[in-house]
Each structure stands twice: as C-alpha cells, then as structure tokens.
A and B are shown apart, each in its own frame.
Chain A
Amino acid sequence: MECVFGLVGNGFAIVAADTSAVHSILVHKSNEDKIMVLDSHKLVAASGESGDRVQFTEYIQKNVALYQFRNGIPLTTAAAANFTRGELATALRKNPYFVNILLAGYDKETGPSLYYIDYIATLHKVDKGAFGYGSYFCLSLMDRHYHSGMTVDEAIELVDKCIMEIRSRLVVAPPNFVIKIVDKDGAREYAWRESVKDTAVPAA
C-alpha cells in the first residue's frame, strides 16, 4: 500500500513517498517517482489510484505553470493548495479523483508550509502529515519525535525512523522510498532509500 508522509522543518519542508507501482499482487516497478516537482518551490507527493495520480498531478502542474505564464508571478503554496482542493471538490460529485496529496512548498514571505489534501478535497495546513497504511506508523512516530524548527539532519533522522518502521511493521511494506526537500533554494530530490534495486534495462 502506498505510503506518503512529510513534515515542516526550519526553513524547509520535506516529503517522502514509497516508489512501488503495484497492481493487485504484482509489483510493476519499484522506482516510480510519486513526488512531482510542481514548480521551482513546490512539491506534490501523491498517493492513490495510479492513473488518477499521474493525470491529476500533471493537470495541476500545467495549470500552475499557466498561471505563472499569464500573470508573470508564481502562485503561493496556499494558493496552489486551494486550487488543487477546488479541482478535487468540483470533480468530487461528477467523476472523483482517488488521489491523496501532500503539497509542500516554500514562499519567501511565509516560509515553508505543508498542506494535507484528502481525495474528497478536505484541505488543512499541517506541520506533519501522512497517507496510507504507513500513516498508522508514521503519524505516531512523528508525534513523538517532531518539534517545530527541526534541522534538515534531524528531519532526515525522523524520516528514516519512519521508513524503518514501515519496512519492519507493514506486511506489504514497500521496499524503496524517495525523499524530496523544498527550501529557499528550491524543490529538489534529496535521497533515495532503496533496499531492492530494479535490474538495469539492457540497451537495445
């Protein structure tokens, strides 16, 4: 089951997601990147129905880019989160997207922020959040060890604790995780945590 979690630290926000693409009992691939770089200073970590996840996050990404082209300035994280919620809410009673999202971003004026957006379009600004079966382990671990203003090293330590817990306690534990960070220097990949490596694709 897909695990996505994230937290806000001192001047940064960090999100981690598992990287397995699963259909029923089959693992298609174990290096599927589920954290999309929305724009220079935003990350969208999405979990849920794979088709909906890719479609919806790409739709949001392109619309956020369009706003920037039209208006010359990028959306704030709060605005992007509310836009995302609005799209989910409009689709909810027609053809709902089964995608849960953690939107992390950094704004110059307000600093780092993390938004929890449910698949039924419940929006809430949080300091720490998680989705999926992994949330049952991550949330309580984060409740215990999180404090506001954590450094990157402290946050990574906590993220690793969560990944260890998911690996050891979840019966269908995903083996690999990707960690991405967003701070004043932008949104970027921080690290991968792999315990199973896909075999390299042979050259044609």
Chain B
Amino acid sequence: MSIFEYNGSALVAMVGKNCFAIGSDRRLGVQLQTIATDFQRISKIHDRLFLGLSGLATDAQTLYQKLVFRHKLYQLREERDMKPETFASLVSALLYEKRFGPFFCQPVIAGLGDDDKPFICTMDSIGAKELAKDFVVAGTASESLYGACESMFKENMEPEELFETVSQALLSSVDRDCLSGWGGHVYVVTPTEVKERILKGRMD
C-alpha cells in the first residue's frame, strides 16, 4: 500500500466571488482501521490564509509546525501577514528541500490576496505548484473530487452557494473512497468573516 494512503484524506478548495472555500474529510485511519472521526486537516495560518495537508498524518503535523514557525518569524520581521502567493512559495521551497527524502504530504493552500482576490493552489509532495483559477483537490479521494468539482463548479459563486457546492462535491467524493469520510469540515472565507461548518455525511 502506498504511504500516501496510510492515513486516508480528502481535501478540496474552491474559488468564488471574492471568497473561497476549503473543505476536508474528518477521518484519521491506520490503513483499514479508523482511529478518529474528528481529525483536523485544515489549519489557519492567518485570518485570510488556510492550509490543508493531505497524506501521511505525521508528516502533515510536522510540516504544519514548521510552517507556523516560519510564518511567525515572518510576522515578527515584516510586521505583517504573509500573502498567499508568498506562503505557497514557502511551502514549495520547504518541500523541495527534502527532495530525496520527502514529506509524504500534498498541501492545499487557499487565501485572500491583498485586493480580496481569492488564491488557491496545490502541490505534490516535492513542491511542484499547481495554481488553478477554479478548484484544487488532494488526498486519497482526489480522483472522485476532480470529477465532482468539474461538474458542480460555476464561476463567481456567492459564499452560500459556494459552501453548498463544496459540501456536495466533498461528501459525494468521499462516499466513493473507503479511506476518507466520516463527515466534513468546510471553511468559507470572505473579506469580512470566516465561517466554519461541520458536515454530517455517511459515517462509514
């Protein structure tokens, strides 16, 4: 079994009108066994920047701690938050440093730029950035997620409609993947507020 499929994960980020949504599943497993159904895969870097880490949970936790450390140092030096594009480059650089002994994670980065323009990107485990204008996906359920997002996505969705789209895409995709699921966690971020919602899906 692939090391990327050891814990199981599903991540999706989608762009809307001056907003973005980032969603993940909630399962933490060890191969076939489910350990927890409340695992947090998405973390806040700052109010307008969220990071989701799919793949091996231990590396996701280590990588998250390294990135928070780097961002806090940046905040101390620059006296401001990192722009999403800058953060994405930081993640990419950190991952490539371990080119021949990598972190087994696929990050999904979603943030609001300076002019409230939403930014999303994903990268592979060695830092190859993939910028997208509409949606990005990661995790064991990524293939299902690609299909679901491609068919459900529309441009310039308002936050409420964006939440519905991301939720439906996430839930229907993880239902086809045995290693991810047990509910969903969706953050919808607009320039004024962050709405965090827990989804109840098929609990299996």
User: Footprint of B on A, CB under 8 Å?
Assistant: 85, 89, 92-93, 116, 118, 120-124, 126, 129, 135-136, 139
Q: Which residues of B contact A136 (CB under 8 A)?
A: 33
User: Footprint of A on B, CB under 8 Å?
Assistant: 7, 28, 30, 33, 35-36, 39, 56-58, 61-62, 101
Main secondary structure of the interface of A (DSSP, over half): mixed
Between-chain CB contacts (< 8 Å), 20 pairs: A89-B58, A89-B61, A89-B62, A93-B101, A116-B35, A116-B36, A120-B56, A120-B58, A121-B61, A121-B62, A122-B7, A122-B30, A122-B61, A123-B61, A124-B39, A126-B35, A126-B36, A129-B35, A135-B33, A136-B33
A120 to B31, CA, bound (A): 13
A92 to B104, CA, bound (A): 13
Q: Which residues of B contact A126 (CB under 8 A)?
A: 35-36
Q: Which residues of B contact A129 (CB under 8 A)?
A: 35
Which chain B residue shows the least CB distance to A124? B36
A103 to B101, CA, bound (A): 29
Which chain B residue shows the least CB distance to A119? B58
Q: Give the number of A-B contacts (CB < 8 Å).
A: 34
Query: Do A122 and B101 touch (CB < 8 A)?
Result: no
Query: Do B28 and A124 touch (CB < 8 A)?
Result: yes
Which chain B residue shows the least CB distance to A89? B62
Q: Which residues of A contact B28 (CB under 8 A)?
A: 122, 124
A103 to chain B minimum Cβ distance, whole angstroms, is: 15
Query: Do A92 and B58 touch (CB < 8 A)?
Result: yes
A49 to B56, CA, bound (A): 22
A143 to B60, CA, bound (A): 27
Q: Which residues of A contact B36 (CB under 8 A)?
A: 116, 124, 126
Query: Do A139 and B33 touch (CB < 8 A)?
Result: yes
Q: Which residues of B contact A93 (CB under 8 A)?
A: 101
Which chain B residue shows the least CB distance to A120? B58
Q: Which 8 A-B pairs have the closest CB atoms?
A: A121-B58, A122-B57, A122-B58, A120-B58, A124-B36, A89-B62, A126-B36, A124-B28
A126 to B39, CA, bound (A): 10
A71 to B61, CA, bound (A): 27
Q: Which residues of B contact A123 (CB under 8 A)?
A: 58, 61
A93 to B35, CA, bound (A): 24
Q: Which residues of A contact B62 (CB under 8 A)?
A: 89, 121
Query: Do B58 and A118 touch (CB < 8 A)?
Result: yes
Q: Which residues of A contact B7 (CB under 8 A)?
A: 122
A122 to B30, CA, bound (A): 10
A159 to B112, CA, bound (A): 49
